[in-house]
Structure 1
C-alpha cells in the first residue's frame, strides 16, 4: 500500500487527507501545526503524527511538500531524502530545478496545485510533469489536469490567486444588503446560497464561460447594468500578469 508523508500540515494537507479517507493509505504528518495534525490523527486511524519532518520522510515513500514558500528553503535544508522517494511539491513559486537540488538524491519530483475541494473528492489538481504516483494521489481526491510544460503550470497557479477577491466581492454584496436593512445572517446565507447554486450550474455547463455569462443577462437588464459598471478586464489581466511573474520567479 502507498504511504504518504506530508511536510507541512495546513489547510491543503487537511483537505487531501480528508479526501483520502475512503482509500485509507498510511499517512504520516508533520507535527508543525499541532491542532490540525492531531485532529486528523484523532479522526482517521491510518494517520499518525510524527516527531519531526525527518521522521515523516523516513516513514513514507511519497512525500508531499506543503510548506509556505517563505520557509521552504529552511525546512528542506534540514532534511535527508532517499533516492526512491517520490516528491510532490505544493509550494508555489519554487520551480522543478530548485526543488531537485533540495530533494536530491530523489529524482522523481512533481509540482502540483491542490485545491481545498479535495476534502470533498472534488479537486481538480494541476500538476507537472505527469507521474503515476502523483496522479494516483490526486485522482483519489478528484481529477487531474497536466499542462504542456512547467511555464503553463504557473498560469494555473496565478489563476488561483483570484479566490479571495471573488469571495471578498460576495462579502461586499452581503454587506451592502445588510446596510439596506437585511439581517446580516440572512444576507450572508442568501448570497452563499445564490452563488453556491451558480457554482453548481457552472460545474455542469459544457460551453464557454462567456456563453454562460451571456445566459445570465438580458440586453438592457440589471445584470448587464451591473456587469458594465464593475467590469475592468484590463485591470484583471494586469493583476494576473503580476501574479504570474511572481509565481514564475521573475
Structure 2
C-alpha cells in the first residue's frame, strides 16, 4: 500500500466502470484532490465528471490501469469477467472491488497478477463525504483514501455483508416517509418545499447525535406527538413488517 495520505499528496486512482456508484466514488476521490482516470463505460457520466473536475481524465480501460496505482473495479457482474480478463494488470496494482457479489477468490483470477484483497461497498453519499463504507478483506487501502472523510465499517464475512446490504434497504422506505410527511404538511397549511429539507435535517442530525434506543427514549414524552405516532405505527406492525420485508430480501439473495 502506498504510504500516502490524501492530505499530503495526491494518489493515482483509476475507476473501471462509471455507473452510478463508480461515478460517486470518482467524485469523492476528485474532491479529495487525487489524480483520477476513469473509463468510458458510460459516456454521459464520464463526460460530466471530466467537465466538473480538472483532475479527472477519461480513457480506455487499459489506459486507466496504466496510469493508476489504485484501481477501483465498478463493473456489473455480467460484463466483469470479459472486461477484466482482456486487461493487463500489474503485480503492484492495489485492487479495490466495488462488486459485492464477486468474492475475492473469483476476483483474484480476473485481475492476476495483481492481488485481490479488498471489497468495498460504498453508497451514493460517498460523493460528498460523511458516508458509511462497508469493507471486506484488507481495509487499509480504503482507510488510507477515505478514512478522513467517511466512516469505514469492517465486515467479517459474506453472511454479515448480506445482512448489511439487506438492512440498508431501509433507506428508501425512510425517504418515502419523509416525502409523505412533507406532502401532508403541504395539505395542511404548510409548504412541502420547506418541510422536506426541514425533516431531512431533523432526522439526519438526530440519528447522528445518539443511538436509536436513546433517541426513542428522548422522544418518549407521555402523550407527545412522537410517542403517539410511534405507538400507532407499532400497533399496526411496524417492527414486524420491517423484519418481514428484510427477510424477504434475504430469501431472494439466498
Same fold (TM over 0.5): yes
Higher RCO (C-alpha 8 Å, min separation 6): 1
Selected match of 2:89 from 81, 102, 105: 81
Pairs within 5 Å for 1:1-250: 2-21=11-30, 23-50=32-59, 52-180=60-188, 182=190, 186-205=191-210, 208-231=211-234, 232-246=238-252, 250=254
- Residue 146 of structure 1 aligns to a residue in which SS? strand
- Residue 155 of structure 2 aligns to a residue in which SS? coil
Q: What value does the CA root-mean-square deviation take over the aligned residues?
A: 2.5
Indicate if the aligned counterparts of 2:117 and 2:138 stay in contact, CA closer than 8 A. Answer: no
User: Closer, same or farther in 2 for the Cα pair 1:138/1:198, shift >3 Å?
Assistant: same
Give deviations 1:84-115, integer Å, cap 9, x for gaps.
22221122332223222322332233111212
Indicate if the aligned counterparts of 1:111 and 1:127 stay in contact, CA closer than 8 A. Answer: yes
| Structure 2 unaligned regions, length at least 5 | 1-9
Indicate if the aligned counterparts of 2:20 and 2:124 stay in contact, CA closer than 8 A. Answer: yes
User: Closer, same or farther in 2 for the Cα pair 1:214/1:127, shift >3 Å?
Assistant: same
Q: CA deviation at 1:181?
A: 5.3
Give deviations 1:29-58, integer Å, cap 9, x for gaps.
0112222222222232221001x2232223
- Residue 24 of structure 1 aligns to a residue in which SS? coil
Q: CA deviation at 1:11?
A: 3.1
Indicate if the aligned counterparts of 1:3 and 1:27 stay in contact, CA closer than 8 A. Answer: yes
Give the Cα–Cα distance (whole angstroms) in 2 for the partners of residues 128 and 154 of structure 1: 12
Give deviations 1:203-225, integer Å, cap 9, x for gaps.
122xx311202212323333233
Give the Cα–Cα distance (whole angstroms) in 1 for the partners of residues 69 and 122 of structure 2: 19
Give the Cα–Cα distance (whole angstroms) in 2 for the partners of residues 238 and 73 of structure 1: 35
User: Closer, same or farther in 2 for the Cα pair 1:181/1:234, shift >3 Å?
Assistant: same
Give the Cα–Cα distance (whole angstroms) in 2 for the partners of residues 179 and 83 of structure 1: 61
Give deviations 1:102-137, integer Å, cap 9, x for gaps.
223322331112122222321221201124323212
- Number of paired residues? 242
Indicate if the aligned counterparts of 1:6 and 1:63 stay in contact, CA closer than 8 A. Answer: yes
- Residue 99 of structure 2 aligns to a residue in which SS? coil
| Structure 1 unaligned regions, length at least 5 | none
